[in-house]
Structure formats: structure tokens, C-alpha cells
Amino acid sequence: MENKEMTVFEGAALATEQAAQELDNQIKLYANAAWINLVEACKCLKRMRDTKLYEKLGYSTFGEYTEASLNIKERQAYTYISTMEAHGEAFL
């Protein structure tokens, strides 16, 4: 009977380890996707600011655009842009 209990325990431990590994893989997948999307968003913010295309959407300033369209303060948008400009995509 002891051997059977040990097998059940080992099986449970293995299942828990497998669940942990699967969850770890999901976290890494989603985190990687989030970083890629953040980098792309920073590039687009920079392009929107530099080209002033926000004016074509009816906004008079970049800050007005970021607050109304993106629900972030202009300062936050500039933080994203300046971080990418200063350190490059690899940093983000």
C-alpha cells in the first residue's frame, strides 16, 4: 500500500510541476507579447507626435490627442517616447 500512496503523491507532484511549467510558459508568452506591443506603441506615438497627424483627427495638440484618444497624460506619452529614443527598442 505504501508504494501505491507514493506513486499517487509523486503523480500529484508531477502534475503540480507540469501545471507550474505551463503557467510559467503562458506568463512568458504574454509578457513577451506585451513588450512587443509596448515597443510598437512607442514607435507609433513618436510618429504621431513627429508628423502631427493627430491634427487630421481633429486634435489641436499632441497632449489633447493623448488624453482624449488614449486616456493617458501627455507626460506619460513623452516618457514612453523619450525612453525609446534614449535607449532604443532593445531597452524596452
For residue 92, tell me if it sits in a domain.
no
Domain count for the chain, please give it: 1
The crossing angle, in degrees rounded to 10, of helices 74-87 and 2-51 is 100
Angle value at C-alpha 61, between 56 and 62, nearest 5 degrees: 90
Answer yes or no: is 40 within a domain. yes
- The pTM score is 0.69
Name the residue range of residue 60's domain: 2-87
For the stretch 31-87, pLDDT in tens is: 999 988 988 999 999 999 999 999 999 999 999 999 999 999 999 999 999 988 888
